[in-house]
Structure 1
């Protein structure tokens, strides 16, 4: 029986390889229906990218090994029965508090308390963690571009992929991969105090979102594209020479780009299209 802590370590990694394999097969099959939603052609991918596919797989595997090792020491295994007892006690205390402050129906007080601890608090933890990951990645990512030293020795690795694809989502220098992705998610998990099970959901969702940002497709029906403005097309701009100083936000929202003036907005895009026509 896998503990929630161990599941939080290996399930996101397994899903990363499964989801990336799906997109890689899709690209190689070149099915006409899906090709019309592809951002770059196969020829562009092979001609413009500066790192072989096998090297990308190797570096991603290395990052996942480091990620697993870091998580192994970060996640403290707790007996499920002890965790359940703590949650039940917290629910009882909150119910008693609600009862003493006017919610005199014990059944309703217990239900409201259960909702607070099982639904409201986890939702707030999850959204807060997303905000923390975005903030951590935006400022480190932007620093990786503004510092010539950091770009040359670390962040330029990721930008060897001018045509992003799914497996390249976590193609980074190992040091940058640790500080940008692994450490950011770990800090969000620790500081929000979420449970290992919620951490499993967060890490998996973060992986899926990162893959979506680099997958090379922009499907209009994709729920992640519908719910988030930060998608494959948005991040692809950042991988182009003409957009490399824009769209630093990743992996969820775009608000830091909008607030700090680094978003490649519709006006910029129209100017580029106009310049190409002229």
Structure 2
């Protein structure tokens, strides 16, 4: 039993919980004190290097989430109508954990190859993926700032495939997509906070993705949002060092093998 049972459907929560969590978690980062000693880039760099204003970023994210919600509703409707057994039986916790792990692997594979191709194809990069890289210095609210077509192909379609292949129920998907949302925000937050659980358990983390947003790392570290498997297997992995920055703070400095 979950806290929303009897109030709203699992399909409703699967659609809207990740969106609500996005704004709550990203907003929390936005409201934090300056924390300059933990920033991977200075605030001056953020102001000078980023090529898009915050209001435009917010509008872009809201547009992507609108499309995402519409497609999620259609997906849940189609899969529920295809079932002849009525409401799906919720599997055991171990089975759900396995399904979530499978979904993580599927999403990582999908996003790696689509993301990498958008960098390699000059037309797609210039007209679509470059919009995300207008945030040279990433921050939490901009985690899902993409061209609408990229948001559809990379995130929404990737999520749908992960849901279908893993065989998870709408209820399980609430936890999976909420976790994926939190992880994606954390990867773009631009802060290396002590004790951050994502930095402890995932090599693909804030600094890892920050390298990708740097000029010398733009052809590396395509993997997102969970593991670094594909980068290491296919030669696009770039390690880094975290070094103190003069005047305070940290810097993720790329290293070549």
- TM-score above 0.5: yes
**Offset of residue 134 of structure 1:** 0.2
SS at match of 2:217: coil
Q: 1:83 aligns with which of 87, 96, 99?
A: 87
The answer as to whether partners of 2:51 and 2:135 remain within 8 angstroms in 1 is: yes
Q: Give runs of aligned pairs for residues 1-278 of structure 1, distance below 5 A.
A: 1-26=7-32, 29-30=33-34, 34-76=35-77, 82-83=86-87, 86=89, 117-266=91-240, 269-270=254-255
Gaps in structure 2 of 5+ consecutive residues: 1-6, 242-252
Task: Write the distance in 2 (CA, Å) between the matches of 1:271 and 1:173.
Answer: 30
The answer as to whether partners of 1:132 and 1:188 remain within 8 angstroms in 2 is: yes
The answer as to whether partners of 2:239 and 2:256 remain within 8 angstroms in 1 is: no
The answer as to whether partners of 2:238 and 2:256 remain within 8 angstroms in 1 is: no
Normalising by structure 1, what TM-score? 0.81
Give the greater-gyration-radius structure (CA). Answer: 1
**Offset of residue 82 of structure 1:** 4.5
Number of residue pairs the alignment of both structures matches? 236
The answer as to whether partners of 2:109 and 2:230 remain within 8 angstroms in 1 is: yes
**Offset of residue 219 of structure 1:** 1.6
**Offset of residue 120 of structure 1:** 2.5
Q: Cα RMSD (Å) of the superposition? A: 2.0
**Offset of residue 52 of structure 1:** 0.7
The answer as to whether partners of 1:220 and 1:226 remain within 8 angstroms in 2 is: no
The answer as to whether partners of 1:9 and 1:68 remain within 8 angstroms in 2 is: yes
The answer as to whether partners of 2:26 and 2:185 remain within 8 angstroms in 1 is: yes
**Offset of residue 25 of structure 1:** 1.4
User: Which structure features the higher share of helix residues?
Assistant: 1
**Offset of residue 4 of structure 1:** 0.6
Gaps in structure 1 of 5+ consecutive residues: 88-116, 273-278
Normalising by structure 2, what TM-score? 0.87
**Offset of residue 218 of structure 1:** 1.3
SS at match of 1:215: coil
SS at match of 1:2: coil
Return structure 1 stretches of 4+ with deviation > 6 angstroms: none
**Offset of residue 191 of structure 1:** 1.6
1:266/1:41 Cα in 2 relative to 1: closer, same or farther (>3 Å)? closer
Q: Deviations over 1:35-86 (max 9, x none)?
A: 211111111101000011100000000000000000010013589x9436x5
The answer as to whether partners of 1:218 and 1:231 remain within 8 angstroms in 2 is: no
